[in-house]
Structure 1
């Protein structure tokens, strides 16, 4: 196993999958809470944190499977945030027998068509490469970070995002992400594990549209957290802990 991971606590295993633009540090506060009663596995995705960079492509779903196999975890609760939620969803669709319960925190979704505004925002950031300071300035000027930017967790957010940009600029020019087919948006009705969907009320409109797609999931419960943007694992770890543990113990 070449991915960097950390294990904290004992009990039923919980695997945490971080968002794009971040690494396992985004789970720092939630891990300390969950580890009181669970075995918590947080890892850096390929190309993030202390894990190796991708060569030509990355299959993040298969990476989760390889990690669980390496740790001899037959089944675990899977928790994913943003792109980590996208990975978690596709993993649960393809390996449902390995997922005891599924927690999605403001997930993205394979096959979802994002708005022009969303695409323009990301394109503008990339157009300013390799000026990382300018990329950071543009990235943080978004509703995605409207709450966390005024919180005690601003510095950690900036550190993770800067590290992400620095590493991303060194990836191969032909790098691509490999996702299972057909895309998740076409298969949500097949999602078997009991699912908890959490989103901040101040998140992007696109992410609420994604939430609407998840209404197709047979056994899903939705929760909105007030005064939260997209970065709930940093700003609302206690709220997440209460909702997740209640869901897991139900």
Structure 2
């Protein structure tokens, strides 16, 4: 196992999958709360934090399976944020027997057609490379960060983004993510684990469109967090803790 991970607490295992542009520090405030009741496993995805850079073709879903096998976890509650939620969804679709419950925090979705505005936003950031300061300026100019940018957690958010851009510039030029096929969007109605879907009421319109895809699945409980943008694990950890523990103990 070459991925960096940290384990805190005891009890039922909970695996935390961070979003793109962050690392396990995303869970700085939520993990200590969850570890009061559960065994919490937070890890840096390949190419993030203290984990090694990705290979040409990287399979983040298989990385979760490898981590769970290494830790001898037959089953765990999986919690994923944004791209981490995308990974968690694909993992639950392909390895449902390994997921006791699924918690998706503003997830992205494999196979989802994102808007032109969303795609142009990411292209502008990429085109600014290797100027990390400019990349940061462009990245933070988004509704994704409208709440966190005015919060005490702004510095941590910026630190993670800066670190991510620095790491990303060293990735293989032909790097690509290998996702399971068919796409999760095409298979959502096969999603078996009981699922909690949480979204901030100030998140992007695209993420609300993603949530509409998940509403076709019968065993999903939806919650909207007030005054939260995309980075709700940083700004609304107490709210998330209350909702997640109530869901897990139900």
Question: Shorter-chain-normalised TM-score: which range?
Answer: over 0.9
Q: What is the match of residue 241 of structure 1?
A: 241
d(CA) in 2 for partners of 1:143 and 1:10? 37
SS at 2:79 equivalent: strand
d(CA) in 1 for partners of 2:190 and 2:218? 8
Q: What is the match of residue 53 of structure 1?
A: 53
Q: What is the match of residue 8 of structure 2?
A: 8
Tell me if the contact between 1:196 and 1:221 (Cα under 8 Å) persists in the aligned partners: yes
Q: TM-score, normalised by structure 2?
A: 1.00
Q: Displacement, 1:106?
A: 0.1
SS at 2:215 equivalent: helix
Runs of 4+ in 1 over 2 A off after TM superposition: none
Q: Does 1:107 align with 2:107?
A: yes
Q: Displacement, 1:125?
A: 0.6
Q: What is the match of residue 137 of structure 2?
A: 137
Q: Displacement, 1:241?
A: 0.1
Q: What is the match of residue 71 of structure 2?
A: 71
d(CA) in 2 for partners of 1:118 and 1:246? 33
Tell me if the contact between 1:85 and 1:108 (Cα under 8 Å) persists in the aligned partners: yes
SS at 1:234 equivalent: helix
d(CA) in 2 for partners of 1:57 and 1:224? 35
Q: Does 1:84 align with 2:94?
A: no
SS at 1:170 equivalent: coil
Residue range with higher mean Cα deviation, 214-223 or 106-115: 214-223
Which structure 1 segments of 5+ residues have no match?
A: none
SS at 1:187 equivalent: helix
Residue range with higher mean Cα deviation, 214-223 or 90-99: 214-223
1:4-54 residue CA offsets vs partner (Å, 9 max, x unmatched): 000000000000000000000000110110000100000000000000001
Equivalences for 1:88-237 in 2 at 5 Å? 88-237=88-237
Q: TM-score, normalised by structure 1?
A: 1.00
d(CA) in 1 for partners of 2:160 and 2:8? 21
Q: Displacement, 1:218?
A: 2.3
d(CA) in 1 for partners of 2:80 and 2:245? 15
d(CA) in 2 for partners of 1:218 and 1:39? 29
Residue range with higher mean Cα deviation, 93-102 or 213-222: 213-222
SS at 2:120 equivalent: helix
RMSD, matched Cα: 0.4
Tell me if the contact between 1:110 and 1:183 (Cα under 8 Å) persists in the aligned partners: yes
Q: Displacement, 1:183?
A: 0.2
Q: Displacement, 1:55?
A: 2.0
Which structure 2 segments of 5+ residues have no match?
A: none
Tell me if the contact between 1:5 and 1:43 (Cα under 8 Å) persists in the aligned partners: yes
SS at 2:77 equivalent: strand
d(CA) in 2 for partners of 1:168 and 1:179? 19
